[in-house]
Structure formats: structure tokens, C-alpha cells
Chain A
Amino acid sequence: MNCEKFEELLPLYAEDALPGEDLRAVEDHLAACGACRESLALYEELESSLVSRRALRPPAARTASAVVERLGLRGRRRSLHGWIGAPALSGAGFVLAGVGMLLFRGAVADFFAEAGGRFAVGYSHVAAEGTQGLVRAAGGSEWVLLCAYLGLFALIMLTGSWMVLKFVRE
């Protein structure tokens, strides 16, 4: 092979990508040809310079953070709509049901007493007694009890909403 043909193989040699047969032929030729050795030196210089340019590339994680920031995906303030999702609505339903039961506890107890067996009667009795106990603990004010009841449910539902939204986003 003449130098022109070897010239074609030198970039592959510099990249360590020559198959065995060609590799031996190129090495034999290089041992005897100064011009091709010079040419190879340039290809090797090119190879190492091209590889070293990788350091110009910014870290991928930094770009990812910048893009997430640019899209407003991180730390985005949830609108009120974000909180009034299905969990919050079902929470409001529970609150209303609780308030209804509290206000009409007598009728509820009568209903359970009439419609249910011993278990239902026992349950309504316990519920009525429990509520009365809580009213006493709240200083006799049903409104204090109502506010506490609402506050507790609101807290539970907001926590639930937050957990569901977090799960969905993750």
C-alpha cells in the first residue's frame, strides 16, 4: 500500500478502531515512513483535542435545574383551585354531614333507635353521650365544639389533599 491508502486508515488508527489485519499493516508502514508518522501525530493531536473539548459542556444537572426553573415546575405556588380538588370536596361533604348529625343528633339517635337493633341503639347512645361529654369539655358551648370539629376536619382534609397532590406530581 502506498501513503495515500494509509492516509485513509490513520484516523481510525488514532482512534484505536482499526481491525487487526490493517493494524499490523499500518504499524509496519509507520515504522518506515516519516511523513505518515507526522500525519498520525496530527490525527492523534486532533483526537485528544476533540476529546478534551468535552469539558466545555456544562453539567447536565445544572441545565436540568435551569430548565425546571424556567418552566416554573419547581416551587410553583399552587392556586386555590389546586387545593379544592376531589379530596377537599369530599372533606367538605364529611364536614357538612358531621354538622348535620350534630345539629340533629336527637333525630339521628331516634332514627338509629328505631331502625337499628341493639348495636345501633348502643352506638347512638355512645355517640350522644360522647357529644355531650365533648360539649361539657368545651365549656358548655356547642359552637366551640362545632369550630373544633370543623378545624379538625379542615386540617385532615388539607393534609390529605397535599399528600394526594404530592403523590400525583411525583
Chain B
Amino acid sequence: MKAVRLSLRCVPFSSRAFWYEVREASGLPENADSDQVKYLFSYLTSREVQARTLIVEEPYVDRHYLEEYTGYYASALRPPRSKATRIHVLSCVLDDAELGLWIEETKSDFATVQSRFQSAYLGFVVIRPLPSAPIGRSILRPYKGLSSRCFAAASTEYRVHLAGFELAVRGMPFQQQDQAVGACATTAIWSALARVMRADGGRAATPLAVTAAATKYLVRGRALPANAGLDLDQIQGAVREFGYSPYLLKSAGDRGHAGFTIALKCYLRSGIPVILRIRHEDENDAHAITVVGFRESDEEEEADDIVLRLHDGAYELRSTGLSRLYVHDDRLGPYARAVWLPRHSNELPTLQLKPRSPDLEKKFSSKATVWGAIVPLYPKLRLSAEDLIAYAGDFLPLMVWAVGQHRREALKVEPRFMHGGQYLHDLHTLDIASSRVRLFVTAALLSRYVGIIRFCLGTEWFADVICDTTDIRRDVPHAAPVLGIIPREEGLVEAFKEQMAALTGSRDVTPEAPVIV
């Protein structure tokens, strides 16, 4: 067979150049538009990304597109090419000559050139040779620069090989829906699974594999082409087929919204993406998007605290409010901004996308009702976010007592799930005496994933209650499955011991007793 040479070209980043390269690689006609391309250009020009150079790598063998090709396009009379084009994005100015010099420089100092390349690397966009759906698997760095943003669910590290360099980019894969092989829900599931499967050491599923999984037991219309859409059972079936446990979280109007939002935030902070089923006001069918991050209230974008009012207002379980969600919407693009809209009592919550580009903002401004969420959970993570929030209730009166009246309004609850080993690792950087760290890490037996009920005073950490996640909530014994408690103030340790004794009805120091340091 004839050998094919690789082409690597540096192109100065501009609207014209970006559109030209996408059109060349995909066959998108001059007179055809693409919202995703428009969005990507807008994202790459944003203040916090600031792309300067594109490196066009052609041909590129993309496993995800290749499976779409072999599973569907190969049997078409007029198939597209089997190979794609990959466009790398850099934040520095670089031309062909300079890239050549960088490569030659490696002989004397590889580490310096690698580091220079890495610091400018923003990610890549795969362009499929499909004029109707050009944007293939794309991994771009999310916005950064603000501590109020959380992109834990988009923090998977991808290793990219380019001209002998190994570059890393942290993000979550995005791609445009290609109706031939997947519905919008397929793309949302694919993005979410890519995160959780890689985080657990596996290989990400391809869109075709997700479609096959979703239609394995229940098919509406034809499996391929996949334009029949997916229902709730199919979405859950697809998640289950890859070894994950689909957890359904229903949205609710009125008082339920606070609980839903805290649970959503809990999963996102835990690095677990959430698939939202939404319905735009002007559409009959639903749409699926993947929530990958959020922005908490800060000086620039304020948001009210999320408040669960309990006991007719006698207690408040508060969490810092969210000014934005960041979503992968296959109709628009990655890390698209969305905001909650004000609601009337008992209405389901509504979201609105807020793309930066004015014409996209106009096109995507319709309200979307949130019907519910599907969370792909590690199977042994049996305790849910709602359970964790409910267990926070157990400790709320004690915390209110401990922080005192003058700081009560600042008491926040930020629940999350963490890898047990990671929690112990992070403990070394918490603001407590090293002797207490030693006591905890040498005595606490943690589950693979632990549930952390983190109480904060404003943004300052106040106390952690560490829970076992490998069992469901039980009514008997009624006490929370606490493995350990760590208050910031050492003076609270005895109070916590007393509280645990009151909750469990036992003062025994047994191997099963929580480690309170």
C-alpha cells in the first residue's frame, strides 16, 4: 500500500484561518454555517484562552471517528475519508520555521523546549471529514484563573503526541452530534463516561459503542442511523452497560430546587459530570447536555446562597450560590455558560445558555426546563449526594452551636465525594497540627470513595465529617456511617466525641468507632 506523509502546518489564529481550516478538513461548503465552529472560535478568542496559533496535523487517525466510519460510513456508496484532521491550539505565536527550530533545539535541551511547548498548549479539535458534523472529539482546556470556578469534572489529563513531544491537556471531551451514529443524549453520555471511565483507569467509550449500548435491549426506530432519539431507560441502560450505576436525580420546583442544586454541585465538585435532560420552550422533544463545572458566587458575579430552610426556618442548611453552570452542549460547544433563571413557585427549574457571541446568544436564548439529571456513578459509590446532604442535617445543630451566633449566617455545607487515598493525601495540607494528621492517617480505615460533609465558615474550612459510601442509608442504626471527624479547631474534638456518643448511644472506643482528631 502507498505510504502517506504527515503534514504539520502552523497557522496564525484568526477567524478566517479557523473557518478555512475547518472547511478544508471537513468539506463544509462556503455558504454553510456551523454554530459549533462559531462557538469554538468565540471560545478560543476569549480573554482567558487567547489562542494565537493553530498547528494543523493531517491525516489524523481518531479512534472515535474511525469506529463511526467502520460501523456506519464504510458501507455507504460515497463514504467520506476514514481519517480526520487534528487542529492543535497554542497560546503563543509560532510559525513553521520556528517550530522547526524548536524541534532541532531538542538535541541540546529537550526539557526546555518541551516545557515551552507545554505552557502554550491549549488542546486540540478533531475535524471529521463530515460537512454536516465537522467537529469531532475535541479536548480543550477549560476557563481558568478564578478560584470560584470548579472544573473538577473536566480535569482528566490527556496525553497528546505531536512531533515527538508529549503534551498534556486537562479537559473533558466534546463533539458535535452526528445523527448517523448518535443522538444528542449519546454525545452527552459519551462525554460523561469519558470522564468517569478514565478516572477509574479504563479506556473511554466511543460514540458508536454508546449508541450500541443504548439500543442493546430497547430500540425505538432504528439503532443506526440514530435519529430516533433516546428515552430515559435507554440512557440509563447505556451507562449501566459500561459498568457504571446511573443515578437519577429528579429536579423539583419550589423547595426542592435547593436540594437539587446542592446535590448537583456535590457531584460536580466530586469530579463526576452530570447529564441533564432539558426541554427548550419551543421544542417538543428533550435535549441532553453534560454539566462539567460551575462558578460560585464571587465579587464579579454574585449569586444568592443556596438555602434549604428546615424546621419552618429554625435552621438553614446553606451552600454557596452558583452564578453559572458550564455545560457541554453538542449543539453549541464545550464549557458553554448557562444560568439558572428565576422561577415561580412549584415550576421546574429553568436554564438559559449564555454564549459570548451575540448572534449565538440570540439563537440559543430560549429557556430550557430541567427535567432531571443522570449521574454515572462508580458502582460501589452507594451513598448518594442526597444521603450526604441529609447526614449534614445530623451535624447542623452541633455546628451552629460550635460556630456561635455571630458566625451562624456564614456556616456553609459543601458535600463531596473523594477517593479515600486522595483525601488522606490532601489532609497533609489542611490547616491542622501534624500530630493530628498522623493520628488520623494511621488509624482511619476509609472506603475507596468517601463522602465528605465539609462545613465552612464563609470560604474557610471549619470541619469535615468523613462517611463510608459503600452502603445505602439505613434507618437502623440511624446514625450516619461516620468514619472520621476532623474539626479545624482542636478544641472541638471532645464536643464531636460527645455528639457521636449521643448519636450512636455508645461511648465505646472500638475498631469500628470513628476516628475523631
Q: Do A and B come from the same complex?
A: no
